[in-house]
Amino acid sequence: MFWLVYFTFNVIRWGSYFDDYWYSLKSNFVEFPIHIIVVYTNVYYLIPKFILRKKYLQYLGSITLMLILVYLVRTGLNYLLVTKEIWPEAEDSGRFLERNHIIAVILGELYVLGFVTAIKLLIDWPLELKRNEDLAKLQLSTELKFLRTQIQPHFFFNTLNNLYALTLKKSDDAPRLVIKLSDLMQYVLYEVNSSKASLLQEINHINNYLDIEHIRFKDRVETEMDITGDIEDVEVPPLLFLSFIENCFKHGLKENDKIKINMSFEIVNKKYLEFTLSNNFNPNLNQENKQGIGIKNTERRLKLLFASDFILEIKMQNSTYNLFLKIPVR
């Protein structure tokens, strides 16, 4: 439809200009198949092959070669099928390979090439933009799912290590730990099945994990949690805080040291959730490669989910590890 409209417009335009509609019709019948071949070669072959791959010199060379062929083919077909005059529009009819005639033919072809290619790209641009956005969302969703699947084995690996330590001691607490672990597995494997989870659920999940550590370390663990603001309808990324809390038990404390953990959740202006965490650690013990994948994984998730709309600060002062996280709750 586009080419039909363009062809009709061109026939009427030049027929009116030269007052010779028959000549305009015949010449456009010769020229338009050439236009179509040149435009589609440019749009579907040259641009993807050279421009999108940043091979600009090869693209210019290809266009130049194509314009030379256009001149030869168009002039030859016009001579054979339309008129024996090489350039009837000119005052002296022109000659083959005359400079002005070459320039006129090439400029005319560049006009059509640029005009139609611009229309094509203008139509395709929003569609391509939408496709790229959909691909980016799919990639984000896929990567987030992958990161979550990384968290789950990481978490269960650590918890099973706790259970193993109790069974070695033949502790009566081992069955209780199995029940707690079962509850956690149910939550992680079956209940956490979307990109968001209730903050209340997450806090219950954290308490469940802390119960496991209490079983393991008994009275060596002291925990305190403060909640400020209405958190009933707040949703957060699932398993977001667990890696930070797990890290509290991997800071290299000596065998008989107490593990003191303070954390708080505060809703600020109904827009942001501020999470703070502090715990003691022994700065004299080697901490190299002790963090594992948990913290790095969580940082990656935060960047994917919130881009730059979050704050994560981790500081170690003297023998205290302090963490501050601020995320939107929209």
Closest CA to 293 of 157, 189, 162: 157
Task: Judge whether residue 190 has pLDDT over 80.
Answer: no
Q: What percent of the chain has pLDDT over 90?
A: 25
Encode 155-173: b = buried (16+ Cβ within 10 Å), e = exposed.
beebbeebbeebeeeebeb
**Residue range 263-316, pLDDT digits in tens:** 999 999 888 999 999 988 776 665 544 444 567 777 887 887 888 899 999 898
50 vs 293, higher pLDDT: 50
Mean pLDDT of the chain: 82
Tell me the C-alpha distance between 222 and 210, whole Å.
Answer: 10
Q: Note whether 188 and 240 are within 8 A (CB).
A: no
Q: Tell me the three state secondary structure of residue 287.
A: coil
**Residue range 124-167, pLDDT digits in tens:** 888 888 887 877 777 766 765 665 665 566 667 767 777 787 78
Dump strand ranges (E) for the chain: 197-198, 221-228, 235-236, 259-268, 272-280, 311-317, 320-328
Task: Judge whether residue 87 has pLDDT over 60.
Answer: yes
Residue ranges and CATH numbers for the domains of the chain are 2-97 (no CATH), 142-328 (3.30.565.10)
Helices 2-18, 21-41: inter-axial angle, 10-degree rounding: 140
Beta bridge partners of 272: 268, 328
Closest CA to 305 of 155, 149, 195: 195
pLDDT at position 289 is 44
Q: Give the pLDDT band of residue 39 (cuts 50, 70, 90).
A: very high
pLDDT at position 147 is 58
